[in-house]
Copies of this chain bind each other. A is one copy, B any other.
Amino acid sequence: MENQRNTKQKKFILSILKEADRPISANEIYAKIITDLPKIAKSTIYRNLDALLKQDIIDKYNFNDNETFYLIKPDNDEHRHFIICDDCKKVFDLPSCPLHEIESSIEEEGFIIKEHQIQINGTCKDCAQSLKKQG
């Protein structure tokens, strides 16, 4: 990663990621940043996201086929998992990670775990209620 230079593009991208309370895509970052930096290129965003990934500052999520989502790693060592409402597309936190026990048995068999991801899809409380009202 060599010597890093603190460009304004880099600062903006990082601050947008820090403000986000859920994983966001490169296109969402782009949409937020163009008001302040109208000439920024998407490639700049992708290159900075790659750098942040390599520096272990952010995590990467594949929720659907086309876009990749990024989220700042929390301060402590904990990782997060998500519940996605298919109706309003909101992303909620999964309260805990049930994988720790199973991981040790997988590693006993020689598989080296680098990361894991849990994703639950469904309908959130609010959407369930408004769907009930509608019909």
Contacts and interface: CB of A to CB of B under 8 A. Distances in A.
Interface residues of A, number: 38
B128 A106 contact: no
A117 B62 CA distance: 11
A98 interface: yes
A15 interface: no
A33 to B, nearest CB: 21
A38 to B, nearest CB: 27
A5 to B, nearest CB: 27
A98 B99 contact: yes
Contacts of A103: 120
Interface string A82-113: 01011000001011101101110110011111
Interface in A9-30: none
A12 to B, nearest CB: 23
A27 to B, nearest CB: 13
Contacts of A68: 65
Contacts of A133: none
A118 interface: yes
Contact of A118 (B62, B110, B113, B118): B118
A112 B116 contact: no
Given A68-B65, A117-B119, A112 B128 contact: yes
